[in-house]
Amino acid sequence: MSAELILEVRNLYKHFPMRQSLLNMFRRRRQEVVRAVDGVSFEIKKGEVLALVGESGCGKTTIARTLIGLEKATGGEILFKGQGVGGDDDTSISLKKLRQRAQVVFQDPYESLNPRATIYDIVSEPLVVHDLIKDDQDRHERVKRALEEAGLRPADDYLLRYPHELSGGQRQRVVIAGAMVLDPELLLADEPVSMLDVSIRAEILNLLNALRRSRGVSILFITHDLGTVGYFADRLAVMYLGRIVEVGPTAEVLKNPQHPYTKALLSVVPAANPKQRRKMVILSGETPNPINLPSGCRFHPRCPVAMEACRATDPSLVELGKGHQAACLLAK
């Protein structure tokens, strides 16, 4: 099955310059940077769901924002269906075109809707922006269809409401309707359920899953909750400090994690059953800030099985079979 590649990311870097103090400028210190994304490569096939997991601050949101052009990449290549984005040559597509073919769902449904716009305006906005509507009739139809597909039925009840009149789950459905109204090929979903109640979480996950099946849309599913991953991601990429440290088919990675970080992350997901409590591998401390990266393997200061070699050698991803890769000196 060599399905078409929707998205290819090669060696993506995004460094944010730190604000420099006058004193340091005077001393001619090197400008410090936050290495939010530090050499990330991955690809997403048509109709595939790739989950991106990792602790807070590891760079997940920055990747999504860079992909859609909200941040300018410091280095690397982003190919959408084989085409570069925003370049001058004929083989690249414009940023605006990309923003039609790829859509974002942000984390916070309370913040991502304009409080002074009606649901009708919000959902039809992408159509207006890309000049895709024939007339009011057409606009109305398409908004209704999108809302109903997102599970807001009957759509007419919602058209004239304002976001503050909806619950969190309903708002996230509106966001999804607004994204799907353009019939995109790629959906970047940045923690779409982490701010929602448990019972609503399941509904939104099911909705995304249904859209994937009915529309064949590819999804980059960003989360820090590994529990949700098993349910609908085809492949799983684990991030640590701006790098992907392990990637592979979801079932494979969950069953047979190779990177110590993945193992730790999996072990701390609480099971919904007191009988299944097990030993957790709790890493001490927090994700260090990505300004002064450790030498060698960037995980070694927190790694429970680190060796002497880990201080010196920065491991790169090695293939372990079936597309399962891990960046650890112990992974063979």
Partner 1 sequence: MNESSTPFKRHLRDFWIAFRRNKLGLLGGFLVLTAIILALFAPLLTPYQPTEVIRDEKGRGLTFAPPSVHGPLGTDDAGRDVWTQLIYGARISLTVGFMAGFIAMFVGSLFGILAGYFGGRVDNLLMRITDVLLVIPDLPLMLVLVATVRQMELNISPLVVLTAVIGLLYWTSTARLIRSQVLTIKERQFVDRARAIGAGHMHIIRKHILPQIMPLIVANTVLVLSIAILIESGLAFLGLGDPTKPSWGTMLNFAFDRSAITNGAWWFYLPPGLAIVWVSLGCVLLGNVLEEMLNPRLTGHHLEDGQSMIAVSGKRSE
Partner 2 sequence: MTDALRPGSGQALLSARHLTTEFHLADKTVARALEDVSFDVLPGQTVGLVGESGCGKTTTLMSVMRLLPSNGRITAGNVYFNGNDLLALSERDMRAHRWKDMAIIFQGAMNALNPVLRIGDQIREAILLHDLMDRAAADRRVDELLELVGIPRGRRDQYPHQYSGGMRQRAMIAMALACSPDLLFADEPTTALDVMIQAQVLELLKEIQKKLGLAIVLVTHDLGVVAEMCDTVVVMYGGKVAEYGSAELVYNQPQHPYTQRLLESFPDLNRPPDSANRDLATIPGTPPRLNALPPGCRFSPRCHMSMDVCAQVTPGKVNVSTGSGVLHQVACHLLNEQEINK
Ligand X SMILES: Nc1ncnc2c1ncn2[C@@H]1O[C@H](COP(=O)(O)OP(=O)(O)OP(=O)(O)O)[C@@H](O)[C@H]1O
Q: How many residues bind to Mg ion according to rule CB under 5 A?
A: 1
Contact 146, 180 (CB under 8 A): yes
Residue ranges in 52-71 that form contacts with partner 1 under rule CB under 8 A = 65, 68, 70
Residue ranges in 147-186 that form contacts with ligand SF4 under rule CB under 6 A = none
Strand partners, 7: 44, 80
Residue ranges in 259-298 that form contacts with ligand X under rule CB under 6 A = 289-290
162 binds partner 1 (CB under 8 A): yes
Residue ranges in 266-305 that form contacts with ligand SF4 under rule CB under 6 A = 297, 299-300, 303, 305
Shortest CB 106 distance to ligand X, Å: 10
Q: Smaller CB distance to partner 1: residue 130 or 153?
A: 130
For residue 264, the partner it binds in partner 2, ligand SF4, ligand X, none, with Cβ less than 5 to 8 A by kind, is partner 2
Q: Smaller CB distance to ligand X: residue 58 or 166?
A: 58
238 binds ligand SF4 (CB under 6 A): no
Q: How many residues bind to partner 2 according to rule CB under 8 A?
A: 44
Shortest CB 299 distance to ligand SF4, Å: 4
Residue ranges in 182-241 that form contacts with ligand X under rule CB under 6 A = 224
Judged by CB under 8 A, the residue of 9, 44, 146, 159 near partner 1 is 159
Amino acid at site 306: A
Q: How far apart are alpha carbons 57 and 290 in whole angstroms?
A: 9
Residue ranges in 52-71 that form contacts with Mg ion under rule CB under 5 A = 61
96 binds partner 1 (CB under 8 A): yes
- State the greatest distance between any 2 C-alpha atoms of the chain, in Å, as a whole number: 68
Label each residue of the chain as H, E or C. Answer: CCCCEEEEEEEEEEEEECCCCHHHHHCCCCCCEEEEEEEEEEEEECCCEEEEECCCCCCHHHHHHHHCCCCCCCEEEEEECCEEECCCCCCCECHHHHHHHEEEECCCCCCCCCCCCCHHHHHHHHHHHCCCCCCHHHHHHHHHHHHHHCCCCCCHHHHCCCHHHCCHHHHHHHHHHHHHCCCCCEEEEECCCCCCCHHHHHHHHHHHHHHHHHHCCEEEEEECCHHHHHHHCCEEEEEECCEEEEEEEHHHHHHCCCCHHHHHHHHCCCCCCHHHCCCCCCCCCCCCCCCCCCCCCCCHHHCCCCCHHHHCCCCCCEECCCCCEECCCCCC
Token pair, residue 199, equals 């019972």
For residue 257, the partner it binds in ligand X, partner 2, Mg ion, none, with Cβ less than 5 to 8 A by kind, is none
For residue 126, the partner it binds in partner 2, ligand SF4, partner 1, none, with Cβ less than 5 to 8 A by kind, is partner 1
Q: How far apart are alpha carbons 202 and 210 in whole angstroms?
A: 12
58 binds ligand X (CB under 6 A): yes
Whether the link from the prior residue into 154 is cis, omega within 30° of 0, is: yes
For residue 330, the partner it binds in ligand SF4, partner 1, partner 2, none, with Cβ less than 5 to 8 A by kind, is ligand SF4
Q: For partner 1, which stretch binds (CB under 8 A), given 95-103, 224-232, 275-283, 313-321?
A: 95-103
Q: Which positions touch Mg ion (CB under 5 A)?
A: 61
Q: Which positions touch partner 1 (CB under 8 A)?
A: 65, 68, 70, 95-96, 99-100, 103-104, 106, 108, 110-118, 120-121, 125-126, 129-130, 136, 140, 159-160, 162, 164, 168, 175, 178-179, 182, 195
Q: Which positions touch partner 2 (CB under 8 A)?
A: 55-56, 167, 197-199, 201-203, 205-206, 209-210, 213, 224-232, 234, 251, 254, 264-266, 268-277, 280, 282-284, 286
